[in-house]
């Protein structure tokens, strides 16, 4: 299995619903380092998993729609508890939408998996993996 990883970051504000979150129920900020990993069984005819520049651009676009925003105010996220895990899934789903739309080129059509990891800190992170 081959993989290619690109990294970016996003800065958001949000609050979390539920007693388990204690003080995080209040609006607070988070800065995430975000890794997107693209996998395929075999390299394509060009010898790549997917074009690095296209993958980085797609990740940047997905994160750009979220960064420097209070996620509590985003209509598309209404009712979502924007935990690190839920945001990892949201980013992965939006990347897969980009793949389906052709933004990552023909090479991305042969991908066997996409994993998104949001690093909350150097000691805590969450991932979501899906098939495109």
User: Mean pLDDT in the chain?
Assistant: 96
Q: How far is 124 from 118, CA to CA, in rounded Å?
A: 9
pTM here is 0.95
Tokens of 10: 């996003």
Average pLDDT over residues 53-74: 97
pLDDT at position 56 is 98
Contact 108, 95 (CB under 8 A): no
Residue with tokens 């789903």: 93
pLDDT at position 109 is 86
C-alpha dihedral over 70, 76, 82, 86, to 10 degrees?
-140
pLDDT at position 95 is 97
Domain of 16, in residue numbers = 2-130
Looking up residue 78, the CATH number of its domain turns out to be 3.30.479.10
Q: Is 118 helix (H, G, I), strand (E, B) or coil?
A: strand
pLDDT at position 7 is 98
**Phi, psi at 101, each rounded to 5°:** -80, -5
pLDDT at position 114 is 98
Tokens of 6: 């690109």
Count: domains in the chain: 1
Residue 53 has pLDDT above 90, yes or no: yes
Contact 31, 66 (CB under 8 A): no
pLDDT at position 23 is 95
Q: What are 80-114's pLDDT values in tens digits? A: 999 999 999 999 999 999 999 999 999 898 999 99
**Phi, psi at 67, each rounded to 5°:** -70, 150
Q: What are 17-28's pLDDT values in tens digits? A: 999 999 999 999
Concatenate the DSSP letters of all residues of 48-94 into one string.
Answer: -SS-HHHHHHHHHHHHHTTTTEEGGG-GGGTT----HHHHHHHHHHH
């Amino acid at each position: 299995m081959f993989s290619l990883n690109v990294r970016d970051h996003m800065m958001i504000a949000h609050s979390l619903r539920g007693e388990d979150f204690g003080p995080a129920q209040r609006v607070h900020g988070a800065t995430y380092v975000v890794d997107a990993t693209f996998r395929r069984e075999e390299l394509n005819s060009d010898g790549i998993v997917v074009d690095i520049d296209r993958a980085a651009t797609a990740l940047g676009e997905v994160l750009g729609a979220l960064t420097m925003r209070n996620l509590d105010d985003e209509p598309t996220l209404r009712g979502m508890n924007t935990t690190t895990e839920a945001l990892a899934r949201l980013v992965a789903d939006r990347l897969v939408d980009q793949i389906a739309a052709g933004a990552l080129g023909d090479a991305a059509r042969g991908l066997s998996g996409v994993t998104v990891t949001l690093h909350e800190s150097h000691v805590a992170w969450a991932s979501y993996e899906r098939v495109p």
